Amino acid sequence: MNILITGGAGFVCSHLADKLYEKKHNLFLLDNLLTGNKRNIDHLLGNENVRFIEHDVQNHIEISDEIDFIFHFASAASPIAYQENPINTLKAGSIGTINTLGLAKVKKADYLLASTSEIYGDPEVSPQSENYWGNVNPNGERSMYDEAKRFAEAATATYSRTYSLNTKVVRIFNTYGPRMQLNDGRVVTNFIVQALNNENITVYGDGLQTRSFSYVDDTVGGIIALMESDHNDVFNIGNPNEITVNELATRIISLTNSNSKLINKDLPKDDPKQRRPDITKAKNLLKWEPKIELEVGLTKTIDWVNSQL
């Protein structure tokens, strides 16, 4: 197939591109490089069936080739990145989604939207299943990302109903692994960099808030399982094994043999107290579930971060 990936030079998309390249698909990797990095895909460029397009999805997208499948991932995705680029984040989720859906309509392409666990906000239920509508502050400091993704889901559903497009939505939960930006403010990279430098590890709040972490290979496996399925629906993709932030920090200190100590700072506004996916739907319908244990994934990520420092 001819496949377009927006945000194609980003962390998750670069791993997705690797797997799709292995499957012999022709790839169009589109990215404005606001938070993506061409180094993530350098090993793919130069192949005749991989083309990089530097472009912002908030602008009209013109591709003369036939396109069979579109992955719309383009967006700043870490708190630091989307708070530093709030308008671009809003436009990537709104105008960018409309532009890519319009392209799917013209090309008669199937469409997969990368949504996020952030659409659940600070959840009042745990674990979060796909039929939970969320608890989101529409005017909060994170709203430019949360609400852009919620709009993107609404737009995708509306285009599907109106134009009979085959659309799929993946709600991605915390994902980590090689090629993450080291300064993007995400907890795994923050803790690993601080531990490797024997610096104090910054824990926001009391550290009792929980997260669940999926290694990038597992996340990409779930995305491809959805792509290759007959299901045009919304699916959580993540790892349901829940851990407190304090436990994560302690584990990383142990794996890095670090002398770091934990220090506490104020919890950012609207930071969710718990985040855990219900992946029953993905297990039953996609026959997918994560396989990589946290310590295995953390060790791989630590080795990669260490090579970048």
Give the number of residues written for the chain.
309
Amino acid at 95: I
Q: Which residue has the tokens 């396989």?
A: 291
pLDDT digits (tens, 9 = 90+) for 95-154: 999 999 999 999 999 999 999 999 999 999 999 999 999 999 999 999 999 999 999 999
Closest CA to 248 of 200, 209, 215, 277: 209
Known catalytic residue at 215: no
**What would the two tokens of residue 180 be?**
């993450």
pLDDT at 239 (0 to 100): 98
**What would the two tokens of residue 157 be?**
């559903």
pLDDT digits (tens, 9 = 90+) for 185-238: 889 999 999 999 999 999 988 989 899 999 999 999 999 999 999 999 999 999
Task: Give the helix/strand (H/E) hosting 189.
Answer: helix 187-196
Task: Give the helix/strand (H/E) hosting 159.
Answer: helix 143-163
**What would the two tokens of residue 190 be?**
């923050």
Spatial separation of the C-alpha atoms in residues 103 and 265, rounded to whole Å: 45
For residue 144, what are the contacts with CB-CB under 8 A and spacing of at least 6? 82, 83, 86, 87, 89, 90
Spatial separation of the C-alpha atoms in residues 225 and 205, rounded to whole Å: 37
Has domain 2-176+213-240+277-286 been given CATH number 3.40.50.970?
no
**Average model confidence (pLDDT) across the chain:** 95
Per-residue pLDDT band for 271 (boundaries 50, 70, 90) equals confident
Q: What is the DSSP letter of 220?
A: H
* Strand 214-215 to 175-176 pairing: parallel
CA-CA distances (angstroms) from residue 242 to 149, 163, 174? 24, 39, 11
Report phi then psi at 133, rounded to 5.
Answer: -90, -10
Please give the CATH superfamily to which domain 187-209+242-275+294-308 belongs.
UDP-galactose 4-epimerase, domain 1 (3.90.25.10)
Which of 82, 120, 145, 176 is catalytic? The answer is 145
pLDDT digits (tens, 9 = 90+) for 23-51: 999 999 999 999 999 999 999 999 999 99
Q: State how far Cα 82 lies from the chain centre.
A: 13
pLDDT at 270 (0 to 100): 65
Specify the pTM: 0.95
Per-residue pLDDT band for 18 (boundaries 50, 70, 90) equals very high
Is 80 exceeded by the pLDDT of residue 268?
no
**What would the two tokens of residue 83 be?**
């708070």
pLDDT at 188 (0 to 100): 95
Name the residue ranges covered by the structural domains of the chain: 2-176+213-240+277-286, 187-209+242-275+294-308
User: Residue 115, by phi and psi: left (phi above 0), alpha (psi -120 to 50) or beta?
Assistant: beta
Per-residue pLDDT band for 265 (boundaries 50, 70, 90) equals confident
Beta-carbon count within 10 A of 267 CB:
14
